[in-house]
Amino acid sequence: MADTSPETFTLVITGAPYSSQAPQTALGFARAAVDAGHRIARVFLYGDGVHLASALCTPPSDETHWPKEWASFLEHHGIPGIACIASALRRGLVNEAERKRYALPGSNLLHPFEIAGLGEWVEGRRTSARTLYFHAGG
C-alpha cells in the first residue's frame, strides 16, 4: 500500500500503561507513521492516559518501561507530549510548576512530557489530517 504525501496526526491516549494496551498500540502506530514520513503534531494524554507521563513507574526489569519508551520516542522526534492538566492533577501527575503552586511534597512528570489544557487537543485536531484515540480495551 503506497502512501502519497506526508500527513499530520494527533494521537490521544486515554488508557494507562499496565492497565491497558493503549500506550503500546499507540507507540506502534506512532513509530509506523514517522517511518512512513508522516508527522505527529502532538500526543495528548487524557483521563487515565496521563499515567504514561509518570517518572515513578517502576516495572520489573523484564517488562517494557512504557513512560521511558514514549519519552525516548517523543524526544528523538521532537514531538510534544502533553498530559491534560485536569486529568493529571486529579491523578497525581504533577510537574515542578504545579508542585510549587499547590505546595505538594513532590513532582513526578517525566521529561519531555508537559502539562496543558484541552485546548491543546482542540488545536491538534484542528490542524491534523487525522486524530486517533487509543482507549483502554475490554
Partner 1 sequence: MSTLIMIDQASYGTWSGREALDMTFSLAAFDQPASLLFTGAGVIWLKRAQDTAGIAQKSVEKNLSAAPIFGIEAILADRSACQKYGLDETSLITGVTLVDANRALLDQYDHTAFAG
Partner 2 sequence: MSSFDTLHILNKSPEHPRAAQCLALLSDKDALLLIENGVLLLSAGSLPAIGKVFALSPDVSARGVGNMVGNATLVGFGDMVSLSLQARRVISW
Binding site for partner 2 (CB under 8 A): 1-3, 7, 9, 21, 25, 28-29, 31-33, 35-36, 38, 129-135, 137-138
Q: Which does 59 bind (CB under 5 to 8 A by kind): partner 2, partner 1, none?
A: none
Q: Do residues 42 and 125 touch, judged by C-beta distance below 8 A?
A: no
Identify which of residues 28 and 106 has a Cβ nearer to partner 2 in the complex.
28
Identify which of residues 60 and 119 has a Cβ nearer to partner 1 in the complex.
119
Helices of type H across the chain: 22-35, 66-77, 85-91, 96-102, 119-127
- Residue 81: name the closest of 91, 90, 68, 92 by CA: 68
Strand 39-45 to strand 8-13: parallel, antiparallel, or no bridges (unpaired)?
parallel
Q: Which does 66 bind (CB under 5 to 8 A by kind): partner 2, partner 1, none?
A: none
Site residues (CB under 8 A) for partner 1?
A: 12, 14-15, 46-48, 86-87, 117-119, 121-123, 125-126, 131, 133, 135-136
Q: How far is the CB of 118 from partner 1 (least distance, A)?
A: 4
What span, in angstroms and rounded, lies between the C-alpha atoms of 106 and 41? 30
Q: How far is the CB of 62 from partner 2 (least distance, A)?
A: 17
Active site annotation includes 57: no
DSSP annotation of 133: E
Give the relative orientation of helices 22-35 and 66-77 as an angle to the nearest 10 degrees: 20
Q: How far is the CB of 108 from partner 1 (least distance, A)?
A: 21
Which position among 16, 40, 71, 84 bears the catalytic label? 84
Q: Do residues 87 and 120 touch, judged by C-beta distance below 8 A?
A: no
Q: Which residues are catalytic?
A: 84
